[in-house]
Amino acid sequence: MRSLTFDELFAMLSAAALSAADLTRLREWIASIADPAECIALIEQAAAGRPCPHCGCTRKHRCGQASGLQRFRCLNCRRTCNALTGTPLARLRKKERWLPYLQCVLESRTVRDAARVVGVHRTTSFRWRHRFVPGAMRDRPESLSAIVEADETYRLESQKGSRTLSRRPRKRGGVARRRGISREHDCLLVACDRNGNTLDFHTGRGPVTVAQLDRCLRPALPTDVLLVSDGAVAYRRFAAQAGITHQWVNVQAGERARGAIHVQNVNGWHSRFKSWLVRFRGVASRYLINYSGWLRLLDARRLITPAHLLCAAAKSG
């Protein structure tokens, strides 16, 4: 049978009565067609002038092309590299689909949904999520200032996707064996200032400790900040030890705020995070920080286009 020309196909499509669902499919498909050259140009631009990822030498010469990218040979260690060597995106294929995929990241689509929209397999969609998101989420504020709220949220530890469990499987999903916060819970620590800067940390399992607060918060808190938290003892000890002014709200006794002293912004973040996560139907503990980093990126609204995300992810770590 003779194959249809584009004009014939287009005429048929324009004559067809398209339902709302058909139109959505068609729009998504068209939006997913991208020019691979655009993606390559952005990657090369993000890496321009980068030293050799193997030895740090800045002297390198061009040495052919590979996977659509310029390849370089280092004049010092003689090894080759391209713009993505040493980044989370190294060796990922199908670059023509990356920008449409990153649009799905901006839209918080599920693995399955993004796979359908972009036209890749679900396992590819999953792999890409956990390469692009950690790459892009390195775009984070270095420090917080003025009034800083800090609080943790706990999620039941999850081994979703693991082939072998390190414990007996839970019956009926998410119920801890003990009451309260225990080693069965992942702790996600979030700190934010009143200028819209947010930092997130997966501190490990169980209640947050002074040492963990010190390791996570100390580098991000100048000594002139005012730290606000709930009444947990760990914060008081950490603040005393770090020489940081600290105020706490007695949340357990029903106290909400004393003027500017409250943790409502960070608590708001936690509750948004919880409702945003629902669509993913449970996330594995080892990816928890990727999800909080993802929401943090969306919230910060600094990277708002697929190109922004790509450039951030293509920067070396």
CB nearer Zn ion, residue 52 or residue 188: 52
CB of 55 or CB of 257, closer to Zn ion = 55
Amino acid at 130: H
Residue 52 in contact with Zn ion, rule: CB under 5 A: yes
Please report whether residue 240 would count as binding Zn ion according to CB under 5 A: no
Q: By C-beta, is 55 or 260 nearer to Zn ion? A: 55
Region from 55-63, 64-72, 232-240, 249-257 binding Zn ion, contact rule CB under 5 A:
55-63
**C-beta of 73: minimal distance to Zn ion in Å?**
9
Q: Which is nearer to Zn ion, 75 or 233 (CB)?
A: 75
- Identify the three-state secondary structure at position 93: coil
Helices and strands of the chain, counted as H and E runs: 11, 10
Q: Counting Cβ atoms within 10 Å, is residue 46 exposed (0-12), middle (13-18) or buried (19+)?
A: buried
Phi-psi category of residue 299: left, alpha or beta, with phi > 0 → left and psi -120 to 50 → alpha: alpha
Closer residue to Zn ion in complex, CB, 54/116: 54
57 makes contact with Zn ion (CB under 5 A): yes
In whole angstroms, the minimum distance from the beta carbon of 55 to Zn ion comes to 3
Determine the interface stretch with Zn ion among 76-84, 100-108, 250-258, 274-282 (rule: CB under 5 A). Answer: 76-84
Amino acid at position 240, single letter: A
Our measurement of the distance from residue 253's CA atom to the centroid of its chain's CA atoms, rounded to an integer in Å, reads: 35
Q: What is the CA angle 239-139-53, rounded to 5?
A: 115
d(CA 150, CA 48): 38
Query: Which position among 69, 77, 156, 261 is part of the footprint of Zn ion (CB under 5 A)?
Result: 77
304 lines the binding site for Zn ion (CB under 5 A): no
Please name which of 138, 128, 88 lies closest in space to residue 104, comparing C-alpha atoms.
128
- Any contact of residue 75 with Zn ion (CB under 5 A)? no
- Nearest approach, Cβ of residue 90 and Zn ion (Å): 16
Choosing from 54, 122, 127, 315, the residue that interacts with Zn ion (CB under 5 A) is: 54
With CB under 5 A as the rule, give the number of residues binding Zn ion: 7
**Smallest gap from residue 1 Cβ to Zn ion (A):** 56
User: Interface with Zn ion by CB under 5 A: which range of 42-50, 51-59, 246-254, 268-276?
Assistant: 51-59
Strand 198-205 to strand 226-230: parallel, antiparallel, or no bridges (unpaired)? Answer: unpaired
Give the separation between CA 183 and CA 186, rounded to whole angstroms: 8
**Region near Zn ion per CB under 5 A, out of 33-41, 69-77, 221-229, 256-264:** 69-77
Give 84 or 277: the residue with its C-beta nearer to Zn ion: 84
Pairwise CA distance, residues 71 & 237, whole Å: 52
Shortest CB 76 distance to Zn ion, Å: 5
Between 78 and 279, name the residue whose CB sits nearer to Zn ion. 78
| Residue number, 49 or 254, with CB nearest to Zn ion | 49
Q: Is 85 exposed, middle or buried (0-12, 13-18, 19+ CB in 10 A)?
A: buried
When binding is defined by CB under 5 A, the residue of 55, 146, 211, 257 that contacts Zn ion is 55
Cβ nearer to Zn ion, comparing 77 with 234: 77
- 3-state SS class at 188: strand
CA proximity to 83, closest of 125, 118, 135? 135
User: How do strand 80-81 and strand 69-74 relate by DSSP bridges?
Assistant: antiparallel
User: What is the nearest approach in angstroms of Zn ion to the Cβ of residue 75?
Assistant: 8
**Contact in structure between 222 and 215 (CB atoms under 8 Å):** no
Residues engaged in binding Zn ion (CB under 5 A): 52, 54-55, 57, 74, 76-77
